[in-house]
Chain A
């Protein structure tokens, strides 16, 4: 199987499992090319998400085909708005019921209802990744041909920037504007009234930070503090921001009318719509998590767990409990809170958490092709060095390093300086030839290969390797 890394981001088992389902069933419904297999690998503070290369290409091709016709993209925008609304509706409805008094069967009904709507979401999320690019290509192509006709090609970059700059406002910006309004009001109203206005503000925007389940929403105190930190001339700042916004809109509409091309205008409107939708759809998910978490807390409470565990269960595990009463032990959930990897194949989602099990799973699925590897990267300070691998994790400060060991790290940090000064060579996953590791390597005269992509994943402490930075290659050698 050929895994392709897509995005790396913080992702809880609950969020991931609900997306898996939508990526399989939901996307199949929309374009007939389901993502059946997924793998989440712990990476930094989040997870790297892998899908199968062939499923990814089939998906991209399917959308590309349909998007030849611009009206398809318009339909997707409409569908996105519909799905977002339906999601908010169901989450609001559930949040208004009195969960405490519901039987398990009624909780199950509500959960299934939520899940049935959520299944449509991943299509707009992943579909956007592809459509975004198609749309900007189409827009730029059209712009070029219009400008060529008008003999104004020298303005291409400038106009492209105008057409692709957001003119509307997103929720986070609305919040800031509202808070500025509130601050300018603060001088005119009395304490209790201000406090109740802040309360309303908090109710409206508490969900903003919730990119996943189990994230603490913003409180009234939080907004109070951010209000205090706003400049002391809120009225002026507010006016300036509104002016800026209006100017951006004005520039866009003037630019479009000077070009007089209905097709370009259509593309530009669609582009603007997508720019806003891109944030709107993730905002909706945040608000949904905010609304639905108390409901999920109630289920988790009945399982006998604290509500900080919500996000460590998968969708299927919620259903299993509601259907049959089977529940996960505290040990398993605690283990997941430490670290986990996830695999979805054949319609089943598996969460693996013990270090050894994670290793075995990743070894089995990701590393098969990488066992006889020769890692390629960019060589920095020239030299050929042999030595034993020492993996350094980010944040590592203690340097119990044998002189001459080969440091292998995702990236180097100033904290590692002492260790680096004793190293025989440096190998990193990421970085350019101007980055910290490269500068240090040249300064200290230590051979270094950067941007190998996977060195920390395929090499283990104690492996004997040869670092050839003239060729930008790291080889494992036999003992």
Chain B
């Protein structure tokens, strides 16, 4: 039977080919299969990515850029070429059949607002996080055109100089296939990161949770200093809490993320209580067990429910 491989559900990791969905999507599928709360969504596969490139006449050019990169490195002329290709991909047209299948999935999802994340086939290696190298679009209004635009923008970010330079530095392929994960946007009240193991070897018996009000971008990007909680991995006991400096927050607006100052009263308050910390501790251990290695997890809380937005292996430990 012929099965559509362009747009895939966000579950069924066992049957899915990792080279069709990319690292981020694959780990999300595993989480969904194991029953974790992951925002519902779907995957626009690397097959769709290649079809999109081909449709816009970008595939051949990309291959030749890749060859040049591999033989000559990132020279100014090839970087300029990458910039051009990136612009063309951002503005690229969509094959009709893809528009149709993405539109259907979008209607079925019925979410008012979406998050579109890149999922590269080589991402999430244990010694190279590729953190932040590919684009993410948050709070995209549920309008087909806007969503397609967000996907092509994510894909085009593959051609960012910084990403290419990073991958070449880390001896990764300079250019790779990228899928996109389209999910319901969680209008988070509180978000953050969770390292199931403290990156400092001496404290590897503790778990680190860093959190703030609003979306987690402020924590991930280091825009603010988040509240920090150190939790004993063994018992779940809170060993240490430290109030951060949460002077601003990013919240999910109707037309995209909104950055705004956080009221003083909230700045001086810890954003997580003991009950939630216990839930996060339990979640962290379960995710770690699922993947079989220490994890770097991004999570959000909306209406008291904890959502897992991403999980990837923790990269290098300090002191190693």
A interface with B by C-beta (< 8 Å): 5-9, 46, 129-130, 132-133, 136, 157-158, 161, 176, 226, 228-229, 231, 237, 278, 380-382, 397, 411-415, 417-418, 421, 428, 430-440, 442-443, 445, 450-451, 453
Determine the distance from Cα of A451 to Cα of B169 in the docked complex, in whole angstroms. 27
Cβ-neighbour of A414 out of B132, B244, B248, B273 (below 8 A): B132
- Specify the chain B residue showing the minimal Cβ separation from A160: B273
Report chain A residues within 8 Å CB of B221.
411, 413, 435-436
Which 4 pairs, one residue from A and one from B, show the smallest C-beta to C-beta distance?
Answer: A431-B222, A435-B222, A432-B210, A411-B222
For residue B65, give the distance in angstroms from its CB to the closest CB of chain A.
Answer: 19
Q: Which of B22-30, B40-48, B138-146 contacts A (4 or more CB under 8 A)?
A: B138-146
User: What is the number of residues of chain B that contact chain A, defined by CB distance less than 8 Å?
Assistant: 54
Give 12 A-B pairs besides A176-B254, A381-B318, A414-B162 with Cβ atoms closer than 8 angstroms. A46-B261, A133-B265, A229-B141, A411-B223, A414-B132, A414-B166, A417-B165, A421-B169, A430-B225, A433-B199, A433-B208, A438-B199
Any A CB within 8 A of the CB of B292: no
For residue B117, give the distance in angstroms from its CB to the closest CB of chain A.
Answer: 15
For residue A182, give the distance in angstroms from its CB to the closest CB of chain B.
Answer: 16
Determine the distance from Cα of A436 to Cα of B128 in the docked complex, in whole angstroms. 13
Any A CB within 8 A of the CB of B224: yes
Determine the distance from Cα of A433 to Cα of B263 in the docked complex, in whole angstroms. 24
Chosen A-B contacts, 26 in total, with CB atoms closer than 8 Å, are A7-B247, A7-B261, A8-B248, A9-B260, A129-B263, A132-B265, A157-B273, A176-B254, A382-B318, A397-B162, A414-B162, A428-B222, A431-B222, A432-B219, A432-B222, A432-B225, A432-B244, A435-B210, A436-B220, A439-B131, A440-B131, A442-B318, A443-B316, A451-B244, A451-B245, A453-B225
Any A CB within 8 A of the CB of B12: no
Q: Are B142 and A7 in contact (CB under 8 A)?
A: no
Determine the distance from Cα of A443 to Cα of B172 in the docked complex, in whole angstroms. 14
Cβ-neighbour of A412 out of B193, B222, B224 (below 8 A): B222
- Given contacts A132-B263, A433-B228, whether A442 and B223 have CB atoms under 8 Å apart is no
Report chain B residues within 8 Å CB of A7.
247, 261, 264
Q: Are A418 and B162 in contact (CB under 8 A)?
A: yes
For residue A439, give the distance in angstroms from its CB to the closest CB of chain B.
Answer: 5
Best-buried of A228, A434, A438, A439 by chain B (most CB within 10 Å): A434
For residue B245, give the distance in angstroms from its CB to the closest CB of chain A.
Answer: 7
- Given contacts A8-B248, A161-B304, whether A435 and B219 have CB atoms under 8 Å apart is yes
Q: Are B112 and A430 in contact (CB under 8 A)?
A: no
For residue A402, give the distance in angstroms from its CB to the closest CB of chain B.
Answer: 18
Q: Are B224 and A430 in contact (CB under 8 A)?
A: yes
Report chain A residues within 8 Å CB of B141.
229
- Specify the chain B residue showing the minimal Cβ separation from A394: B223
Report chain A residues within 8 Å CB of B247.
5, 7-8
Cβ-neighbour of A226 out of B219, B224, B254, B317 (below 8 A): B254
Report chain B residues within 8 Å CB of A435.
193, 210, 219-222, 226
- Specify the chain B residue showing the minimal Cβ separation from A156: B275
Determine the distance from Cα of A132 to Cα of B296 in the docked complex, in whole angstroms. 35
Q: Mark B32-50, 1 if CB is under 8 A from A, else 0.
A: 0000000000000000000
